[in-house]
Amino acid sequence: MEKAKVIIKKINAGLVKSCKKCGDINVLSRVVLCIAVFMVVVAAGVICFYKPARDAVFSTETHTIVEVKSGDTLSKILGNNGFSMRDIDTISKNLKKDADFTTLRAGRDKIDFVRPSEDEPISKIVIENGPWNKIEIDCGTPDTWQCQKIEIARDTRVAYKEGEIASGSSFYLSALDAGIPEGIILDVYDLLAFEMDFERDIRAGQKFYVLYEENFASDKKVDNGHVLAISFDALRGNVQMFRYVKPDGKSGYYDENGNGAIKSLKRTPINNAKVTSSFSKGRKHPVLGFTRAHKGVDFRAPTGTPIPAAGAGRVIARSFNRGHGNFVKIRHNGTFETLYAHMSKFAKGVNVGTVVRQGQIIGYAGSTGLSTGPHLHYEVIKNGVHVNPLTVKLPAIDNLDASNKALFMERKAKILETIKTLKDSPNQIIRMDGDEKIKK
Ligand SMILES: [Zn+2]
């Protein structure tokens, strides 16, 4: 087409020249006719020899698309579309052999039966299993039904959204208002689960932002990828998290200094303390003398040993009772609470309602209440049920070594630069390498 344009330009130039020279009107009409003929020839050439254009003009292919519903099987669907038992058998065998595919999933998979034209037999079957995979089954001659797995190219771009907690609103609703997709909001909840209590520590005016991935196929958004960065103005200060993939492919979230950002609970609040009595559903109580469940773990600790909070949270009890003596109870999030008993005294400034950070001293070991000697009695309560602090499943606390920390700092700088760019021009398409290759 470029060539055609150049030729037309040349002819036009010639036309202007000849008109100026002799003013012969017949030259003009002859040249116009020439141009018209030339363009028809070019157009015909494009249609005949340029394959995609020809397909668009002449294709008679028909598609019958079947959405897989609960109770459907491949044999059933193939049978309904006129396939013989022999073909069904060959297709099933080849699907397993060539594409490692055995079962259709209702609600996700689609089957496209392709005919070259309306009254010809099916020549191709395409199984779309999930947004990023499809399997093409070609009829072949004679009916060989060869299968081929096809991975759809994933184009990962990044999106930035920021917001503020509206008066009387929740994080969830304020984040939806900010345009953050629901799946990403739930990821943020999980990532910040040990940082803050989304029911109690939310205040109007708290600002937040999220940088996350969006996956596109042929310029159409298909789904969301990973959360790449979070910032949240929590009660105890601004919390930031950045996703970083180590050279070995393992990924994690780290704070602005490269320390593991996924907070958890410490199984043993006092480092290196010896366990003197473990968690049990029934044991002989040392003071009461009869069998009773031990709902926590006892750690040896001389009177006055500082007791750090096992995780960030809010103090929900600071009190005395006959069994526990002086005790503090902390609510960490919607799931976990911890309790520290037999304290000799409480730490200054720790009261009901105080927001504490992980490691903050909340009191000092002692032997108040039903106790035979100074120790820390530590309980973890998950969804209202006492669990064994030493074995309960908790997220791992992960810190980076020096070389990873240096790489992380580079990654963080890149993320912050991307955020700045997207703040200025939200519609700019940005891809960040080094991350999108690792699938969720
Ligand atoms: Zn105990």
pTM: 0.65
In the reported structure, the alpha carbon of residue 314 is separated from the centroid of ligand 1 by a whole-number distance in angstroms of 22
d(Cα 323, Cα 285) in Å, to the nearest integer? 11
The amino acid at residue 297 is V
Q: In this model, does residue 287 exceed pLDDT 90? A: no
Phi, psi of 7 (to 5 degrees): -60, -45
For residue 2, report the distance from its CA to the centre of ligand 1, in Å: 85
pLDDT confidence of residue 302: 93
Topology adopted by domain 62-151: Nuclear Transport Factor 2; Chain: A, (3.10.450)
Q: Is the pLDDT of residue 396 over 50?
A: yes
CATH class of the domain whose range is 275-387: mainly beta
> How far is ligand 1, taken at its centre, from the CA of residue 278, in Å?
8
pLDDT, residue 195, reads 77
Distance between CA atoms of residues 426 and 420, nearest Å: 10
- Return the SS3 of 169: coil
Position 394 scores a pLDDT of: 83
Residues 6+ apart with CB under 8 A from 315: 328, 329, 330, 350, 351, 352, 353, 354, 355, 356, 362
Average pLDDT over residues 202-206: 93
pLDDT in tens, 138-179: 988 777 889 999 988 999 999 999 999 999 999 999 999 999
- For the stretch 222-253, pLDDT in tens is 999 999 999 999 887 899 999 999 999 888 99
The whole-number pLDDT of residue 429 equals 93
Which phi-psi region, left, alpha or beta, contains residue 130 (left: φ > 0; alpha: ψ -120 to 50)?
A: left
Q: What are 177-190's pLDDT values in tens digits?
A: 999 999 999 999 88
**Average confidence (pLDDT) over 5-18:** 41
Band of pLDDT at residue 377, cut at 50, 70 and 90: very high
Going from the Cα of 198 to the center of ligand 1, the distance in angstroms, rounded, reads: 31
**Centroid of ligand 1 to alpha carbon of 386 (angstroms):** 13
Q: How far is the CA of 295 from the centre of ligand 1 (A)?
A: 7
- Which stretch of 1-5, 104-108, 110-114, 217-221 has the lowest confidence by average pLDDT? 1-5
**In the predicted structure, residue 26 carries a pLDDT above the cut 70:** no
Would you give the DSSP letter of residue 122? P
Q: How many angstroms separate the alpha carbon of residue 433 from the centre of ligand 1? A: 51
Cα–ligand 1 centroid distance for 42 (angstroms): 90
Distance 10 CA to ligand 1 centre (A): 97
**Euclidean distance between CA atoms 249 and 247, whole angstroms:** 5
Cα(370) to centroid of ligand 1, in Å? 9
Cα 296 to ligand 1 centroid, rounded to whole Å:
6
Lowest mean pLDDT among 18-22, 107-111, 182-186: 18-22
Res. 288: pLDDT tops 60:
yes
Instruction: Dihedral sign for Cα 263, 269, 274, 280, please.
Output: negative
In DSSP terms, 238 is beta-bridged to 233
Q: How much distance in Å is there from the Cα of 351 to the middle of ligand 1?
A: 23
Query: CA-CA-CA-CA torsion for 381, 237, 308, 285, nearest 10 degrees?
Result: -20
Q: Which residues contact 264 (CB under 8 A, 6 or more apart)?
A: 194, 311, 394, 395, 396, 397
Given this model, what pLDDT does residue 399 score? 83
CATH topology of domain 158-263+398-440: Nuclear Transport Factor 2; Chain: A, (3.10.450)
Torsion, Cα of 258, 263, 268, 270 (10° steps): 60
Rounded CA-CA distance 353/361 in Å is 15
